[in-house]
Amino acid sequence: MADGKYAAISGAVARMHKLDNISEHLASARTPGYKKGTVTFAARLGEATSGMASNATNFTGLTAHKIDFSPGHLEHSGRPLDVAINGEGFFQIQRPDGELAYTRKGSFQLNGEGLLVDSNGYAVTGPDGEEIILERPDIDILGDGSIWIEDQQVAQIGLFRFEDTEQLRRAGQDLFVAMDDAVAVIHPQPQMVQNSLEGSNVNLMAEMARMTSNLRAFEATQKALKTYSDMNAKATEMGLLQ
């Protein structure tokens, strides 16, 4: 009976993880460039001390957190320093500590020194990792990321890609950093859209449906847990009567 109780607890914990995941998605659904995460679980068979397969119990275990990098829809913003990525790729950002990070959120601006920065105030880099300094914000940005003022190219926004995006992890503030020996390379065919931002890839209707389903499953595990607790209490009472 105790094994069934532990299985119910593991199921409840799994549903709590999923509900946390869904809550994060709903909170970030309107954040430009946000990428939803997926939580995966597996059933783990716990053998009883007797070693008999008939006494085994299924437990639910968290296996991985993954990031879904599927693109979001493009939304027109009308701001000349907003840039959306049409397809795969990442903007490269240099953080204050010198470390490089990557983002899909192209909500850029100029700081007091004319440096092109992201929404966190971190420098956006060009194809060679160089900082981008502009005289004014009214510029034209072509599909390849080249920046023009009137008929003169003055800089270029770099677009980078990874062979395996599973080597990226979240670093907060809409940024991702590469793990292990993952190396970003220049995208051979960058496609950028000025005056636009990429929306999140969260489907609100799907997330609401997932939330309803998981809430019901969580309630079911709570009922199962109560049932096992009541059964244990009855068994204890019977033992005392004997």
Which band of pLDDT confidence, cut at 50, 70 and 90, is reported for residue 141?
very high
Same domain for 109 and 91? yes
Q: Are residues 230 and 176 in the same domain?
A: no
Q: Please check whether residues 53 and 124 belong to one and the same domain.
A: no
207 and 155 in a common domain:
no
DSSP conformational letter for 54: G
* pLDDT in the model for residue 232: 64
pLDDT-derived band at 239, boundaries 50, 70, 90: low
Q: What is the pLDDT of residue 227?
A: 75
Whether residues 208 and 193 share a domain: the answer is: no
Judge if 174 and 234 occupy the same domain: no
92 and 11, same structural domain?
no
Instruction: Count CB-CB contacts under 10 A for residue 134.
Output: 17
- CB contact set of 50 (below 8 Å; sequence gap of 6+): none
140 plus 157 within the same structural domain: yes
Which single residue is written with the structure tokens 């009472």? 237
Please tell me whether residues 211 and 131 are part of one structural domain: no
Q: What is the mean pLDDT of the chain?
A: 85
Q: With H, G, I as helix, E, B as strand and everything else as coil, classify residue 121.
A: coil
Looking at the structure, tell me whether residues 103 and 175 fall in a common domain: yes
pLDDT of the residue at 50: 45
The CA distances from residue 29 to 35, 178, 204, in Å, are: 9, 24, 7
Query: What is the tally of structural domains in the chain?
Result: 2
Q: Which domain holds residue 33?
A: 2-70+202-241
**DSSP string for residues in 153-220:** EEEE--EEE-S-GGGEEE-STT-EEE-TT---EE-SS--EEETEEEPP---HHHHHHHHHHHHHHHHH
Task: Single out the residue of 179, 185, 207 nearest to residue 30, CA to CA.
Answer: 207
Do 173 and 84 lie in a common domain? yes
Q: What is the pTM assigned to this prediction?
A: 0.77
Structure confidence at residue 213 (pLDDT) = 85
Q: Tell me the three state secondary structure of residue 70.
A: coil
231/213 same-domain check: yes
